[in-house]
Amino acid sequence: MEMKEIESAVEGILFASGEPVQTDRICVALEMDRPTVEQVLQKLMDYYAYERRGIRLLRMEDTWQLCSAPDYADVIRKAFEIRKPAKLSQPALEVLTIIAYYQPTTRAYVDQIRGVDSAYTIGLLLDRKLIEECGRLQVPGRPHLYRTTRQFLRAFHLTSLDDLPEMPDLGGEGQIRLDEDGRIVDLDMEEALAMTKTFQMDRYQVLEALTNNGGPRIL
């Protein structure tokens, strides 16, 4: 196939899917090598953005998805009478930030950092599919572990977790050790987390800045 045909075929695959499509699946469908397919996908992504088209091509780790351009979110909502999703509250952003940077992590760890119970907030984030359960910590009680989802990447305009802004340095190696109740026992980390206000605001502002930069796209 000529390059134009390849681009059209890729567009058709992504449009028909409606969901994120893995690069390898596109390679198999087109019977083409990965570098060529990735070159075509990147070209389409750049084209949609440069020409200010009504759609965008998003990359989320090793998957690709077509979506509407955020510039036209208001008219799209009007056309389909979609209610604008409520913005995340400060507690939700705090919890989401902690999970994003320290995943996989437990609710006990989130609670200890924030100094308050986070069960309700974690439930809201689960309902919005911004986080998900990803197993259990192998300690007595086996608490659930949580991590962010592809929906999180899509909502905050991130290709992968590597795109998250760098956090302020907490000192030490940042490794976390937990006791039988899932509480932090690493002394350097514990000392750093004792500065609760600084921790909350520094990390909360990281995702708040992302949110204010166009807001979550899909919630």
Question: Which residue matches tokens 């760098």?
Answer: 166
Hey, is 129 helix, strand or coil?
Answer: coil
Which range among 103-107, 137-141, 154-158, 186-190 has the greatest average pLDDT? 103-107
More confident residue, 167 or 166: 166
pLDDT surpasses 90 at 41: yes
Q: What is the pLDDT of residue 209?
A: 52
Looking up tokens 């075929």 gives: 9
Average pLDDT, the chain: 77
Q: Are 97 and 161 in contact (CB under 8 A)?
A: no
Q: What is the pLDDT of residue 42?
A: 93
The pLDDT value recorded for residue 168 is 52
pLDDT at residue 217 greater than cutoff 80: no
Q: Which is higher by pLDDT, 32 or 213? A: 32
| Six-digit token string for 147 | 């991590």
Question: Domains in the chain and their CATH numbers?
Answer: 3-69 (1.10.10.10), 90-212 (1.10.10.10)
Burial profile 97-110: b = 16 or more Cβ within 10 angstroms, e = fewer: bbbbbbebbbbbbb
Cα(154)–Cα(172) distance, integer angstroms: 32
Nearest to 27 by CA among 42, 6, 44: 6
Looking at residue 121, its pLDDT comes to: 92
Task: Flag the least confident range among 56-60, 113-117, 179-183.
Answer: 179-183
86-126 pLDDT, tens per residue?
A: 678 888 888 998 898 888 999 988 888 888 889 999 999 99
Report the percent of the chain where pLDDT is more than 90. 28
Stretch 120-137: mean pLDDT: 91
pLDDT at 13: 93
- Look at residue 195 in the predicted model and tell me its pLDDT: 33
- Res 83: pLDDT: 61
pLDDT at residue 203 above 60?
no
Q: Is residue 9 pLDDT above 90, yes or no?
A: yes
The burial of 147, by beta-carbon neighbours within 10 Å (0-12 exposed, 13-18 middle, 19 or more buried), is given as: middle
**pLDDT for 61 beyond 90:** no
